Structure 1
Amino acid sequence: MTVRRLAPLLLLLAPLLLLLALLSSCAGEGGTGTVPLSGPASGSSAPSAGPTDSAWVQLMIPMDDSAVALLDLAAERATRTGLRSWASRLREDLATELAGLRALRDGMRLPDTDVHQGHDMPGMVTATDLEAAGSTRGEAFDRLLVARIRDHLRQSERVSRSETSEGEAPEARALARTLVADRGEQLADLAGL
């Protein structure tokens, strides 16, 4: 098979390969294995969450946390009113999303530590990005905000789409489907600014 024919296939498999890579790189960090999805107060047996579900939840929480930190800065620093307003709405959306992800993580009995701390992954607003945003003002801040948040939205949509097809836990897959739909709307709104 030629490289030209393989390229589209690799693009389709990229999100799944990313999840598998994250899973294997974090194997020693408590992020793998099938785990129950019963909440702490629930004594009933629950469906199991597989490695893809665990990896997705443990990736999405720090991704959203770091995006929220950048969006917090936008409230003070974004120069365009429409951008500031959009960033505020997105921040609220991500806070709601984080509550759902954390509840899912707790139901999976995963640790509440960031197993990806220090990993500079696609779509992650990094500590360096936050430092740069903290010292940037005006249009330069607006450009940085739009670029980093667009990357976050696109990448989180990709990995969530993989969860919808490869995940085992119905609760995780449902949340991922909601997130994919939300990302489509959020990206369209951003493009309209």
Structure 2
Amino acid sequence: MSNTRTRGTVLAAAVAAALFAAGCGDDTATTTAEHPASTSAATSTTGVRTDFNDADVTFLQMMYPHHAQAVEMAQLVPDRTQNPQLRALATQVEQAQAPEMAQITTLLTSFGESAPSAGGHGGHDMPGMMTEAQMSALEAARDAEFDRQWLELMIEHHLGAVDMAKTELAGGVNAESRQLATTIVADQEAEIATMRGMLGQ
């Protein structure tokens, strides 16, 4: 099986798990929302929430495929290294980010936006996203070389997520989106510190 097909299968499984955890969103909220410049607790006559702005939508739509790639990277670990610390960290990443993908789907649906796509990220256009070449090299690596590549790539990936989350905190207005951003900053900055320590060992 090709690397591309393998990545697609793994990523599809991760997305399916995230959507299942979310209960596949709220099918009743399908109307496209206007994105007000300021927050409001009101709900429009169509039943779509209005307590969000464009910054919230952009953050969520970008963070979903960003998380999906991190989950894909985490799922490469068990077959490529016996390093117990790295295996535990990969499990931690997957267990944190897959549920957040489900939360993102639910939020976007409640905003009247379509469910996000794991593959619609435009490659490495977002901060920290890995290229196809980087992912292929990571898939081909094993043991200590895999550990090094994975840690270096995931640090960059996390730094990108933190930047995106801080942009949301600077411009977003939705309370749930901002709380998600706050959690991402705290969790991923802590994991960055852990990974830098592992690289220095």
Provide the TM-score with structure 2 as the length reference.
0.69
Task: Assess if the C-alpha contact under 8 Å between 1:75 and 1:88 holds in 2.
Answer: no
Aligned length: 159
1:75 is aligned to: 78
* Cross-structure match for 1:34: 35
Query: What residue number does 1:11 align with?
Result: none
The within-5 A match list for 1:138-157 is 138-157=143-162
Residue 53 of structure 1, aligned match among 51, 56, 74: 56
Structure 2 equivalent of residue 134 of structure 1: 139
Deviates more, 1:146-155 or 1:183-192: 183-192
Deviations 1:114-152 (A, max 9, x none): 342334432113332222222111222111111111111
Structure 1: how far apart are the matches of 2:74 and 2:58? Answer: 24
Q: Take 2:113 and 2:133, find their aligned partners in 1: how far apart are those partners?
A: 27
Q: Find the partner of 1:87 among 81, 84, 90.
A: 90
Identity %: 27
CA distance in 2, matches of 1:103, 1:176: 15
Bigger share in helix: 1
Per-residue CA deviation, residues 10-57 of structure 1 (Å, 9 max, x unaligned), is xxxxxxxxxxxxxxxxxxxxxx9617999xxxx756333211111111
Runs of 4 or more, structure 1, over 6 Å off, are: 35-38
Whether contact under 8 Å (1:37, 1:108) holds in the other structure is no
1:47–1:169 CA contact under 8 A, matched in 2:
no
Taking only aligned residues, the RMSD between alpha carbons, in angstroms, comes to 2.7
Change (3 A) 1:105 1:45: closer
Corresponding letter in the other structure for 2:140? S
- 1:128 maps to amino acid: A
